[in-house]
Amino acid sequence: MNTIDQIDKLDKDKDAKYKKIAVVISVILPLAVAALFGIKIEGVNLHFLPPIYATTNGITAIVLLLALIAIKNKNVKLHKTFINIAVILSVAFLVMYVAYHITSDSTKFGGEGFIKYVYYAILISHIILSISVTPFVCFTYLRGWLGDIEKHKKLTRITFPLWLYVAVSGVIVYLMISPYYIY
């Protein structure tokens, strides 16, 4: 086996290792979040978190748009910085969201008529896509990190609009339900 073949084998082994990590994150994360919703911790009041995690979602959307602008301007370093920030914000959102929901009862939407259907359409699409976007973010991030730019670009065409929709719709859901929170 020559040196180039050895390097190719090492790259494929490294690629396979990271793919496994992305798959594990993509499967374990939604399952863990679902399992945590079965837990209720009494006596802890985290009522202040919803506006914070909604703001985090809004900032994530802005950062994603800034990442898009950076890469369109060929500023790869700034693009990477913004994407790293977006991932960190998304993780922070998830931690706060789970913390709130394991310590608080769910808030019921109080709107009636047409607005109720709008709310539930946005909420349901938000939930479904927030679960769906996790593997896309993991694999798109992985492809960029490993320098597989063509696959990264291809995945980004799916990942970016999904991630942006989840971030923006999270803010909309919060704004629509916030009048019904009981503090």
What's at 17, amino acid-wise?
K
- According to DSSP H, which parts of the chain are helical? 3-36, 49-72, 76-103, 114-145, 149-177
Query: For the chain, what are the domain ranges?
Result: 3-180
Question: pTM, whole model, 2 decimals?
Answer: 0.85
What pLDDT is attached to residue 97?
A: 92
Pick 3-180's CATH classification: 3.30.70, 1.10.3470, 1.10.10, 1.20.120: 1.20.120
Name which of 112, 119, 99 is nearest 173 in CA terms.
119
- Gap between the Cα atoms of 114 and 173, Å rounded: 15
Cβ neighbour number for residue 88 with a 10 Å cutoff: 13
Q: Is pLDDT at 10 greater than 90 in this prediction? A: no
Cβ neighbour number for residue 39 with a 10 Å cutoff? 10
Residue 41 class from Cβ within 10 Å (0-12 exposed, 13-18 middle, 19+ buried)?
exposed
The answer to whether residue 13 scores a pLDDT higher than 70 is no
* Closest C-alpha among 62, 60, 65, 125 to residue 93: 60
Question: pLDDT, tens digit, for every residue of 83-133?
Answer: 999 999 999 999 999 999 899 988 899 999 999 999 999 999 999 999 999
